Structure 1
Amino acid sequence: MIEKAINNPVQPVKSDKTSKLILSLLFDGIGMLSYIVPVFAEVTDLVWAPISGILLMTMYKGTIGKLAGVFGFIEELVPFIDFVPTFTITWFYTYVIKGGKGQE
């Protein structure tokens, strides 16, 4: 039984693409929640900006993740442009335009 486990390496999860899309939509929704309470919008953006940047760098590997993290951080800090769905755009670029290369 141990030999069988050694000879059969763990296969990567096929739904990684789908789970990242769901997380991207969720995180974009969280980023847009600041529009619900306009008085606290800028304060919540100050808190969400670094979290957003770190999440983007963690979810997407390599240069794509780093650039998306910096862009997401700046996008959340600049007033009136935090409606841009950075996570979903990054997912689209990574999996539709680039075909998921570099995310294995």
Structure 2
Amino acid sequence: MKNEKYKLLKKGIVLDLVGMATMAIPLIGPFLDIIWAPIAAKKMTKMYKGSEGKIASVLVFLEEILPITDVIPTFTLMWLYTFVWKKQPKPQTIKVRVDE
């Protein structure tokens, strides 16, 4: 599990760099964002399941399609939210009494 979450982080960083790279290409970059935005949204949905993944995919789509927002590392922020900031419920022990 631990190894899988770091693979997810590496993949997210690479996808963030791809999204940021379109800014570096003058004139063509904004048109590449139109192509990259739905691809990034689809990748986000595959990487993070459930309603949180769907919300993140909408956010990454908007981030990629809007000008000047390419510098936001959405995939990395989603990883941080999922594995660092999000409160996980603490496991509790249930005591069971058995009468013999």
Task: Measure the CA separation in 1 of the matches of 2:6 and 2:13.
Answer: 11
User: Gapped runs of 5+ residues in structure 2?
Assistant: 90-100
Corresponding residue for 2:81? 93
Give, in angstroms, the shift of residue 100 of structure 1. Answer: 7.0
Match of 1:78 in 2: 66
TM-score (norm 1): 0.80
1:41-83 CA-partner distances (Å, limit 9, x unpaired): 1111001000000000110111111010000001111111121
Give, in whole Å, the separation in 1 of the partners of 2:7 and 2:48.
Answer: 12
Using a 3 Å threshold, how does the CA distance of structure 1 residues 59 and 100 change in structure 2: closer, same or farther? farther
TM-score (norm 2): 0.83
After TM superposition, the runs of 4+ consecutive aligned structure 1 residues lying more than 6 A away are: none
1:49 to 19, 37, 40: 37
**Identity between Structure 1 and Structure 2 (%):** 38
Give the superposed CA RMSD.
Answer: 1.5
User: Does structure 1 retain, via aligned residues, the 8 Å contact 2:23–2:70?
Assistant: no
Q: Which has the larger radius of gyration?
A: 2
Shift of 1:23: 0.4
Q: Distance in 2 between matches of 1:99 and 1:14?
A: 17
Alignment of 1:33 onto 2:21: yes
Q: Which is further off, 29-38 or 18-27? A: 29-38
